Amino acid sequence: PQILQSSLSPQNPNGCFDWWGYGSTNYANKLGPQMIGVKKMIDTVRGINTASVAKK
């Protein structure tokens, strides 16, 4: 996800994905739900076998 800095409500002056830690106290490390989600996305993309995709 793309995050922009915002001084309006809800404030996010640093443009961080979860700088409040609302998702988890582990938001800034690999045990946080955000990083677990990102890893799952990467694992999914890495699991795609392009050799088996029919070329048009």
Considering its fold, how many domains does the chain have in total?
1
Paired tokens of 42: 């990467």
Residue-level pLDDT at 45 = 92
Q: What is the percentage of the chain residues whose pLDDT exceeds 70? A: 66
Residue-level pLDDT at 33 = 84
Question: Where does the pLDDT of residue 34 fall: very low under 50, low under 70, confident under 90, or very high at 90 and above?
Answer: confident
- Which residue has better confidence, 24 or 23? 24
Runs of H (alpha helix) within 1-56: 33-46
| Structural domain range at position 33 | 1-56
Residue-level pLDDT at 4 = 73
Q: Is the pLDDT of residue 52 over 70?
A: no
- CA–CA gap between residue 41 and residue 23 (Å, rounded): 18
